[in-house]
Amino acid sequence: MIYPCFKDKVALITGGTRGIGRQIAELLAFSGCHVSLVYLRDKRSASAAESELGKSEVGVQTIQANLIEDDAVPKIIAEVHKRYGRLDYFVSNAVFGVLKPIGEFTGKRFDIGMKANATAYILLAQAAADLMVPLGTVDDPWEVPEGPLPANKRMVAMSSLGSVKVIPGYAGVGASKAAIETITKYLAAELAPRGIGVNTVTGGLVDTDSMKAFKNSQEWVDDQVKRTPLGRLGQPADIARVVVWLLSDQAQWITGQNIVADGGLSLV
Give pLDDT, residue 185. Answer: 98
110-137 pLDDT, tens digit per residue, is 888 899 999 999 999 999 999 998 765 5
Q: How many domains does the chain have?
A: 1
The answer to whether position 108 is within a domain reads yes
How crowded is residue 123: how many other Cβ atoms within 10 Å of its Cβ?
18
In this predicted structure, the answer to whether residue 150 has a pLDDT above a threshold of 80 is: no
CA angle 40, 169, 21 (to 5 degrees): 30
pLDDT bucket at 139, cuts 50 / 70 / 90 = low
Q: What is the CATH number of the domain that holds 193?
A: 3.40.50.720
In this predicted structure, the answer to whether residue 146 has a pLDDT above a threshold of 70 is: no
The answer to whether position 268 is within a domain reads no
Identify the CA nearest to 21 among candidates 237, 267, 216: 237
Out of 170, 185, 212, 215, pick the active-site residue.
170
Give pLDDT, residue 25. Answer: 98
Give pLDDT, residue 103. Answer: 83
How crowded is residue 17: how many other Cβ atoms within 10 Å of its Cβ?
26
Give pLDDT, residue 135. Answer: 63
Name the amino acid, one letter, at 61: Q
Range of the domain at 186: 7-139+148-263
Percent of the chain topping pLDDT 70: 91
Which residues, at least 6 apart from 72, have a Cβ–Cβ distance to it below 8 Å? Answer: 65, 66, 120
Q: Is 177 a catalytic residue?
A: yes
pLDDT bucket at 216, cuts 50 / 70 / 90 = low
The answer to whether position 2 is within a domain reads no
Out of 100, 177, 185, 226, pick the active-site residue.
177
The answer to whether position 1 is within a domain reads no
Q: Phi/psi of residue 130, each to 5°?
A: -70, -30
What is the per-residue burial (b if ≥16 Cβ within 10 Å, else e) of 178-187?
bbbbebbbeb
Distance CA 75, CA 123 (A): 12
DSSP letter (8 states) at residue 98: -
pTM: 0.92
Query: Hey, which residues does 36 pair with through a beta bridge?
Result: 12, 61
pLDDT bucket at 105, cuts 50 / 70 / 90 = confident
The answer to whether position 202 is within a domain reads yes
Helical ranges in 94-235 per DSSP H: 107-113, 120-132, 171-191, 217-227
Give pLDDT, residue 148. Answer: 55
6-58 pLDDT, tens digit per residue, is 999 999 999 999 999 999 999 999 999 999 999 999 999 999 999 999 898 89
Query: Hey, which residues does 197 pair with through a beta bridge?
Result: 154
Q: Is 84 a catalytic residue?
A: no
* Side-chain-side CA neighbours of residue 231 (13 Å): 0
Give pLDDT, residue 163. Answer: 86
Among 32-36, 103-107, 194-198, 225-229, which stretch is predicted with the lowest mean pLDDT? 103-107
pLDDT bucket at 104, cuts 50 / 70 / 90 = confident
Distance CA 214, CA 57 (A): 38
The answer to whether position 122 is within a domain reads yes
Give pLDDT, residue 85. Answer: 95
230-261 pLDDT, tens digit per residue, is 999 899 999 999 999 999 999 999 999 999 99
pLDDT bucket at 214, cuts 50 / 70 / 90 = low
Averaged over 167-191, what is the pLDDT?
92
Give pLDDT, residue 152. Answer: 84
Between the alpha carbon of residue 214 and those of residues 94, 100, 107, 221, 238, the distances in Å are 18, 10, 21, 10, 22
The answer to whether position 78 is within a domain reads yes
Q: What is the mean pLDDT of the chain?
A: 90
